[in-house]
Structure 1
């Protein structure tokens, strides 16, 4: 199935290392700070709406998340939020940026197995500085030929990556945890993809069963299972 593959691209967050778990923890802390103004469910809903509204301005990543938390806090409190709460929100974000890198089980084994047989690249989205920092701290840079931090992961974004790598779509395999970002766009442009689910997924990254069932891709429960596919 993968006999034509020359380049294997890996998503970073929640594919190589833990990431989304920290956002859930931050949302819980944010909910506690705003509990005098709204219910936890309402706070979560409004924060999500604010994040989505700001994606076109801030993009993906922790920094945009911090700004969205501040904006949401101002709106939910009718601009009565105290300065010390704003400071605590900023500190939540700073703590996220300083989190140690927790590699997912089997990542090193898979990369070591595939290195030399294929050109390995990272194709991730988010804040450039933060992703570069995480890659440096992960000690995984030695495995990768190319690092691509993308503003988004839609079909046109992957087509640009393919052009940059000077390959045909059928020669690219993407491995990632998000059906919306790491799998479906690849299948639609003629590339291959392997889905490695993570135990928690941002609502914005979910897709319907109807949409995902229309396209052919592999799903493995652990990234180590990728090795046996080759």
Structure 2
């Protein structure tokens, strides 16, 4: 039976369009709001701790980030955080939720080109409404044969997605910026993991690269993807 690659999965945030940059900008606002209570490094540590703790309850996305900022603000001020600070945090989060989508270089061209020969599946995690909004605004939605918005990305996630929308993970490629969510679990599922590093990396998404695995590849940006896929097929 042929094991030719038939399906390509794409991550969305920081793979096809900017995302983490807006979180960083909002974090800077957060640090400035609480500068009288703690220095930025301490706030960053406390916020990251809250985010990690809350992932299981709030999931990934802007809304969980907002709640983690509010929780951190309450903690570092000993429950004395001004209402104006809470309001500003909420407004900053709302601005993030309405921010225009900025495609990353080569995103549209490579998705359009590869869609002529492969089945394309968008596999992204986060808040359902926000991810649907960004996909609609990106103009890429019609180019994908299927879209999976999931709570988290595990090997089982990729097995189910590539069995449902392709010929199984062993005949699929997953392309993404996160080593932890896009690359490692896709390889563990039996597929190819293609890492395209983003400008910013969230601490939670860090993982050791499987550099010795035969199904692991790295490229500097999406502009290299067509040539890389041609080598693999």
- Is this a same-fold pair by TM over 0.5? yes
Deviation at residue 166 of structure 1 after TM alignment: 5.2
Q: Deviations over 1:97-147 (max 9, x none)?
A: 111110001111101111121111100000000000000000111110111
SS in 1 for 2:120: strand
* Cα distance in 1 for residues equivalent to 2:165 and 2:118: 13
Q: Which moves more between the two structures, 152-161 or 114-123?
A: 152-161
CA–CA distance in structure 2, aligned partners of residues 168 and 101 of structure 1: 31
Q: Deviations over 1:158-179 (max 9, x none)?
A: 2222332252221111010111
Any idea what SS the aligned residue of 1:69 has? Answer: helix
8 A Cα contact 2:121 2:165, kept in partner: no
Q: Does 1:141 align with 2:141?
A: yes
Aligned residue runs from structure 1 range 38-57, under 5 A: 38-57=38-57
CA-CA distance at 1:215 after TM superposition: 2.5
- Report deviation, 1:214: 4.0
Aligned counterpart, 2:225: 226
Secondary structure of 1:120 counterpart: strand
Q: How many residues align?
A: 227
Task: Report if aligned partners of 1:169, 1:189 keep a CA contact under 8 Å in 2.
Answer: yes
2:70 is aligned to: 70
Q: Return the alpha-carbon distance in structure 2 between the equivalents of residues 214 and 155 of structure 1.
A: 19
Which residue of 2 is the match for residue 79 of structure 1?
Answer: 79
In 1: Cα distance, 2:166 partner to 2:217 partner: 25
CA distance in 2, matches of 1:110, 1:189: 24
Whether 2:213 is the aligned partner of 1:215: answer yes
Aligned to 2:26: 26
CA distance in 2, matches of 1:193, 1:88: 40
C-alpha contact 2:121 2:148 (8 A) present in aligned 1: yes
Contact 1:184 1:215 (C-alpha < 8 Å) held by counterparts: no
3-state DSSP of counterpart to 2:185: helix
- Aligned-pair distance for 1:213? 2.5
- Residue-by-residue CA offset, 1:4-49 (whole Å, 9 max, x unaligned): 1111110000000000001111111100111111111000000000
Q: Select between 108-117 and 8-17 the one with higher mean Cα deviation.
A: 108-117
Shift of 1:57: 0.3
After superposition, the CA RMSD in angstroms is: 1.4
Say which is worse superposed, 40-49 or 163-172, in terms of deviation. 163-172
Which residue pairs with 1:104 in the alignment?
A: 104
Answer with 97-106 or 151-160: which moved more: 151-160
Distance in 1 (CA, whole Å) between partners of 2:123 and 2:100 is 21
- Indicate if the aligned counterparts of 2:6 and 2:166 stay in contact, CA closer than 8 A: no
